[in-house]
Amino acid sequence: MKIFDTAFGLHEKALNLRAQRMEVISQNIANADTPGFKARDVDFKNVLNNVQQSGSLRATHAGHVRHAGSAGADLVYTVPFSTAVDGNTVDISVEHAKYGKAAAEYQATLRFIEGNIAGVRKALRGE
């Protein structure tokens, strides 16, 4: 059905991306005590632009870090406020804040999709 292909618009892809970003941040939190671990993040704006242009996630640059299992979201290394002696660049409080924000953003995208579903449902009922 054509209507469902486009009903959720960009939000469907955005939701995937938001979940992926949360995964990357949870990786950072998990490795907060791992020597030499470099904190990473998803360049959301950049990736979403690529998605809009190509319709799918892809690496557009040879230097893009590919993340395991993902559709190839572009990962970037974060610039740490301070580096530990063991080379770890995870700022646990910053990652915590990021994780909370990412969760809120995920819920926001979810709300948009819920709105879309409600709209389609209303249209189908024909009230």
Q: Are 32 and 92 in contact (CB under 8 A)?
A: yes
- Site map (CB under 8 A) of another protein, residues 58-97, x = contact: --------xxxxx---------------------x---x-
Facing residues of 28 across strands?
A: none
Alpha helices in the chain (DSSP H): 2-6, 11-30, 44-54, 92-125
Q: Among 100, 80, 101, which residue's Cα sits nearest to residue 91?
A: 80
Examine residue 44 and tell whether it contacts another protein (CB under 8 A). Answer: no
Choices 23-31, 48-56, 77-85; region in contact with another protein by CB under 8 A: 23-31
> Please, what is the minimum distance in Å from the beta carbon of residue 27 to another protein?
5
Decide: 92 and 53 in contact? Cβ < 8 Å.
no
Catalog residues that contact another protein under the rule CB under 8 A. 16, 19-20, 22-23, 26-27, 29-35, 37, 66-70, 92, 96, 99-100, 103, 106-107, 110, 113-115, 117-118, 121
